[in-house]
Structure 1
Amino acid sequence: MNEPFELVYDPIQQDFLYLHRTTTYNLGSFYHRHEAYELYLFLRGNVNFYIENSCYRLAPGDLLVIHPEEMHRSFSLDEMEYERITINLQKSLLQRLSSPATHLSECFDYRPKGKGNIVHLKEAELEQFLLWTGELEEALASDAYGADIKAHCCIAQLLVLTNTIFQNTSFTPADIMPELVRATMDYIEMNLGQEITLEQLAGIFHLNSTYISRQFKKHTGLTLRAYIVDRRILFAKSLLSEGLSITEACYQSGFNDYANFIRSFTKITGISPGKFAKSKQQPGAG
């Protein structure tokens, strides 16, 4: 069955992508990933933000850091104006801006996946963050001599500020992800190499399979099948990175059809398993 893939994998072509948006509709209302790190500052609206198996009701001044491997989605609960700033950053840019003593990717990399993503900025911190994003906007809109260097300086300042805040925060956000959805995600994660069916889930949770499916789609924007395929592809990527063959990665990640694995992997990641494996064998590949 050729069910369309619902999960979006956003390619980021340039060193960084800066967006300051205000909308009154849902943009990207299902789980997705980027090929880059992301800084996300929430300014106003009525929004739930999902990262992996957690969900947070956002407050103005909430700052989130998102790793390329972390699935996430924002969901507007009404038609109130939704304003946010997002900055997507390539790993290579963070490496160039970092120094031996200051690793600017620390807030993204040095924490468990799907945990520790969010802080709430104090008034002075928010003012400083908006000062640097304002200067970044001006630099990006300018063709004056040195504008590109000014933009990179602003990015560096924002990353230093963000890392400093995350290193010193004691903020503990309230996770409002429904327990059924979280438990379903956890079960899938623990059983990626095995067959997973709606009937199994219904038996485990003692609930109607249609109810489970609808609740999962409501909170993730994805069908269970699309979610399972995505998690299997992510697992297969880790297996290929460890040096397993394409065939081994296919079957150990739960695919029982080699052709379907190749097609699914290429569709979701934008690269074939063979090319992905070769890229991981190159010197300096991370």
Structure 2
Amino acid sequence: MSSEYFYDLIEPELLYRHPLTTYQYESSYHRHNAYEIYLFLQGHVHFYINHRCYPMQRGDLLVISPEEMHRTLILDETEYERITINLKKTYVYQLSTVMTNLLSCFDHRPDGSGNIIHLQDDQLNQLLYWTHQIEESADSNLYGADVQTNAAMAQLLVLINQWFQHNSFVPQDIMPELVRKTMEYIEKHITQSITLGQLAEEFYMNSTSVSRLFKKHTGLTLRSYILGRRIELAKLLLTDGMSITDVCYQSGFSDYANFIRSFTKIVGISPGKYMKHRQAEVRIDLLPKTDYH
């Protein structure tokens, strides 16, 4: 499988990780088929999400929806510690109620923004208390451990949603302007032919400089990034019920067979199966959609 494959499948309903890394490392832009909570604890790391890049500080908390591409860049061999929790939509539904939609902090904000808050010491301690409870009960085979895990996860999500309701944190964004503008150009012209030469002409740069800087900050070639964005558009159109043939051409593909092959490789299922899955998922999506921002 290519190192630029950027759709990272999450199998369990709840996946909790608390890893330590002591070497330089950079991931490519990728996405999950699940929501993600990311708590930064220590290290020298830049976190990229869509067209933004944040230098991380202890206590930075991010929430990431399945549609948002993200990556981490570990800048040196300083010990890098973080907690990540991946949650399937169906799992969070089970924890939510008609009055309390625990997906609000993920879904009710503009795509690629409003993802990050910085926790004060007392907030960080509260969060670490509940993550510790999850960590202990998730690894236990004792009677009731699963109920304790779910209860702790619900408490954690309530806290996070409360904090994001009142989020006024303005993070430092250090994404280079050329990379940001390249991403914006791609989004604007995603249904059209996009070449490296066009991008170089648009930004008055030579093609090698554009390609090299983009790869440095995304971990992806321009071709792979454009393909990924077209697949994302195709998924939205399929969810809306558009025919697979129309989706192919409306999402920027000029060859039907290539569209089917690319979609299946990246998403893991064919466009037809994806459409059926999403339509079934939409039918059970009965939670209130009030935007609290």
Aligned letter for 1:100?
Answer: V
Residue number among 72, 75, 78 corresponding to 2:76 in the alignment: 78
CA distance in 1, matches of 2:150, 2:202: 51
Paired position in structure 2 for 1:102:
100
> CA-to-partner distance for each residue in 1:69-108, whole Å, 9 max, x for gaps?
1000011011111000000001011111011111100000
Paired position in structure 1 for 2:155:
157
Gapped runs of 5+ residues in structure 1? Answer: none
CA contact (8 A) 2:9 2:32 kept: yes
Return the TM-score normalized by structure 2: 0.94
> CA-to-partner distance for each residue in 1:130-154, whole Å, 9 max, x for gaps?
0111111111222111111001111
Following superposition, the deviation at residue 27 of structure 1 comes to 5.6
Return the TM-score normalized by structure 1: 0.96
> CA-to-partner distance for each residue in 1:182-239, whole Å, 9 max, x for gaps?
0000000000110000000011000010000000000000000000000001011111
Paired position in structure 1 for 2:175:
177
SS of residue in 2 equivalent to 1:101:
coil
CA contact (8 A) 1:7 1:230 kept: no
> CA-to-partner distance for each residue in 1:150-187, whole Å, 9 max, x for gaps?
01111001100100111112111011110000000000
Mapping 1:34-183, distance limit 5 Å: 34-183=32-181
CA contact (8 A) 2:24 2:76 kept: no
Runs of 4+ in 1 over 2 A off after TM superposition: 25-28, 278-283
> CA-to-partner distance for each residue in 1:106-147, whole Å, 9 max, x for gaps?
000000110000000010000000011111111122211111
Paired position in structure 2 for 1:195:
193
CA contact (8 A) 2:199 2:207 kept: yes
CA distance in 2, matches of 1:133, 1:26: 26
Residue number among 206, 209, 215 corresponding to 1:211 in the alignment: 209
Following superposition, the deviation at residue 7 of structure 1 comes to 3.1
Matched residue count? 284
CA distance in 2, matches of 1:236, 1:91: 20
- % identical aligned pairs: 59
SS of residue in 2 equivalent to 1:199:
helix
Paired position in structure 1 for 2:283:
284
> Which stretch of structure 1 is more off in the superposition, 43-52 or 241-250?
241-250
CA distance in 2, matches of 1:266, 1:59: 38
SS of residue in 1 equivalent to 2:209:
helix
Aligned CA-pair RMSD: 1.4
